Homo-oligomer: A and B are copies of this chain.
Amino acid sequence: MSSARHDVLTIGNAIVDVIAHADEAFLAKFGVVKGSMTLIGADLAETLYAAMGPATIVSGGSAANTAVGVASLGGRGAYIGKIRNDSVGDIFAHDIRASGISFDTPRAVDGPATARCFVLVTPDGERTMNTYLGACQNLTEADIDPATVSGAKITYLEGYLWDPPAAKVAFRKAAEIAHAAGREVSLTLSDSFCVDRYRAEFRDLVCTGMVDLLFANEHELKSLYETADFETALAAVRSEARRAVVTRSEAGAIAVAGSETVSVPAFPIERLVDTTGAGDHFAAGYLFGHTTGRSPEAALRLGALAASHVIQTLGARPQVELKALAEENGLY
């Protein structure tokens, strides 16, 4: 195995977030489930935007946020995702490159516009997402550059990639290249409704060993194993996955691998602003720790720290250098 060019490659839906405050009545009016991610078409996207309050626009996309988190911690990150050659695509490309991430996926020159996620933040800080996938539909296996995949210590893929049909083929190709190069593959389950849509396929990825490291939050894990009991779900993932990291919001996080169990508390926060990106940044912290030879406990603590920062900001990208924050907290 040659030396790695990147610590972490992430692959996902390339999305720009359009974030506004909203009340519960607004969610009810549009029939969206609080805390979840709903796919919407171009027409509903336009209707929803027109009805939303004044917005803040920040690049997003789950796996892209994770790559940015890795880079902010001092890791070497790369990203693969599909945008169009439009002004929203310009925003996405600028921000991810300005964050120090290698991003060379060819842009679509026609077809649907760059994806946007309309994020509604309720007064309790919870985020509800409505995603117009647009150009993400055009991510195909041709976009998976073998040198980039084999040059990364770990390739991290988002479950949301199961939504655009061609992307799952790209996902499998990336996983095969990574393993052929002796690298690791990681998957996040993304969202409990996403697990509902693709449960059998996700379990297959875990059971067959196509995924070495699984990320899930408590709700997603319970959905994967169709149980309301966390301990049952944890026992199931322990028996099926090589290694799994499970986040439980303010109850902290736990990593399991065979009989090994490591857990850490949540990192304390001053004020919850917006939960968008919490899971993405937990993964960033863990992946950075994991690929730089830190212990599972140290990796979990970095995850908890990164998540605690991003939920105190609007949007899913860090507003400070996470490396400096980790140093201040004696975690680097």
A50 contacts the other chain (CB 8 A): yes
A52 contacts the other chain (CB 8 A): yes
A153 contacts the other chain (CB 8 A): no
A319 contacts the other chain (CB 8 A): yes
Which residues of chain A from 29 to 75 have a CB within 8 Å of any chain B CB?
A: 49-50, 52-59, 68
A99 contacts the other chain (CB 8 A): yes
Which residues of chain A from 296 to 321 have a CB within 8 Å of any chain B CB?
A: 314-315, 317, 319
B91 touches A57 (CB 8 A): yes
A94 contacts the other chain (CB 8 A): yes
B54 touches A317 (CB 8 A): yes
Which residues of chain A from 90 to 123 have a CB within 8 Å of any chain B CB?
A: 91, 94-96, 98-99
Which residues of chain A from 189 to 218 have a CB within 8 Å of any chain B CB?
A: none
A interface, size bucket = 20 to 34
B59 touches A54 (CB 8 A): yes
| New contact pairs (12) apart from A53-B99, A54-B94, CB-CB < 8 Å | A21-B319, A54-B59, A54-B95, A54-B317, A55-B91, A55-B95, A56-B56, A56-B57, A57-B58, A57-B91, A87-B88, A314-B319
B56 touches A58 (CB 8 A): yes
Point out the residues of chain B lying under 8 angstroms from A53, CB to CB: 98-99
B99 touches A54 (CB 8 A): yes
Complex: chain B residue closest to A20, CB-CB? B98
Once A49-B94, A50-B94, A94-B50 are accepted as A-B contacts, the answer to whether A315 and B56 lie under 8 Å apart by CB is: yes
Point out the residues of chain B lying under 8 angstroms from A99, CB to CB: 53-54
Distance between Cα atoms of A314 and B273 in the complex (Å): 13
Distance between Cα atoms of A174 and B57 in the complex (Å): 33
Distance between Cα atoms of A53 and B100 in the complex (Å): 9
Complex: chain B residue closest to A123, CB-CB? B320
Point out the residues of chain B lying under 8 angstroms from A94, CB to CB: 49-50, 52, 54-55
For A49, A52, A57, A314, the residue with the greatest tally of chain B CB atoms inside 10 Å of its CB is A57
Closest approach, in angstroms, between the C-beta of A300 and any C-beta of chain B?
Answer: 26
For A53, A88, A315, the residue with the greatest tally of chain B CB atoms inside 10 Å of its CB is A53
For A21, A56, A59, A314, the residue with the greatest tally of chain B CB atoms inside 10 Å of its CB is A56
Distance between Cα atoms of A68 and B55 in the complex (Å): 13
Please tell me which one of the listed residues B52, B58, B88 contacts residue A98 in the complex, with CB atoms under 8 A apart.
B52
Complex: chain B residue closest to A121, CB-CB? B319
B56 touches A98 (CB 8 A): no
Distance between Cα atoms of A317 and B55 in the complex (Å): 10
7 closest cross-chain pairs (CB), A and B? A57-B57, A54-B95, A87-B87, A54-B98, A54-B99, A53-B98, A56-B58
